[in-house]
Amino acid sequence: MRKDVLSLVVAALALCVAGQAWATPSICDADSGNLVQNCGFEDGTYTSGSDTSIPVDWTALGDWDTGYNGVRTDVEFVGPNSGNDFLTLSNFSSQSPMGGVSQTLSDAAGATYQVSFYFTQNDTNSATNEAFEVLWNGVVEFDQTGGTGSDTYEEYSFDVIGTGSDVLELEGFSNDGYNYIDDVEVNLVSPAPVPEPVSLAIFATGLIGAGAARRRQRRAR
């Protein structure tokens, strides 16, 4: 009896070890400066409406519950850039607005940040058939239409200025294929600029002058 129990325990431990070995982290998770949570879409999903594949820490946008948007592990697709999971955004263009996800980030006002991500489209047709956009506070900063012409991920990036609280959005549609996104990062490039010494001197002179004016007003009384 004891041997049977011991055998079951050993088997369970072996399965746990095997599961841990199989779970490969995303490369973006190793970047401690990355502001994006669940950047590689490895942290599971939550339920909204009929769809259970909205990534944790992200909010669904547009026409999401179509069956074409979500976190995937399917080997029939392109697959992940790293780790086990990746995101697909692949509504038909008639399903409007485009499906997508967003995340609100806390950053430093005035600082410069680099937004980077790995992305590919497997449709090589016209812009009316496929599109993918990355937006910062509602402004389109990256726009890929008509297919990348390759099933291989490529890294893309652009710089933005933080305001203290900013919204990152990923949106897309595809009539004939899929948009694949993985390893999303927002990293500090340069901190908010410090006022120049001349500007500080002018500011200090202004304070001194204001103080002197107040003293003269008191004496005049």
- pLDDT string in tens for the chain (221-residue length): 444 544 443 444 443 434 444 568 899 999 999 999 999 999 999 987 777 789 999 999 999 988 889 999 987 778 999 999 999 998 998 887 789 999 999 999 999 999 999 999 876 555 567 889 999 999 999 999 877 767 789 999 999 999 999 999 999 998 878 899 999 999 999 998 887 765 555 655 665 655 555 655 555 55
CB atoms within 10 A of CB 160: 19
Query: How many angstroms separate the CA atoms of 55 and 106, rounded?
Result: 19
- Phi, psi dihedral angles at 112 (to 5 degrees): -95, 130
The domain ranges of the chain are: 26-190
CA 123 to each of CA 139, 179, 181: distance values in angstroms, whole numbers, following the listed order? 25, 9, 14
Which numeric CATH code is attached to 26-190? Answer: 2.60.120.260
β-bridge mates for residue 100, sequence order: 61, 171
Residue 18 is predicted with a pLDDT of 41
CB atoms within 10 A of CB 39: 24
pTM value > 0.85:
no
Q: Which helix (H) or strand (E) holds 146?
A: none
Residue 129 is predicted with a pLDDT of 78
Residue 122 is predicted with a pLDDT of 77
CA 43 to each of CA 29, 67, 207: distance values in angstroms, whole numbers, following the listed order? 11, 20, 53
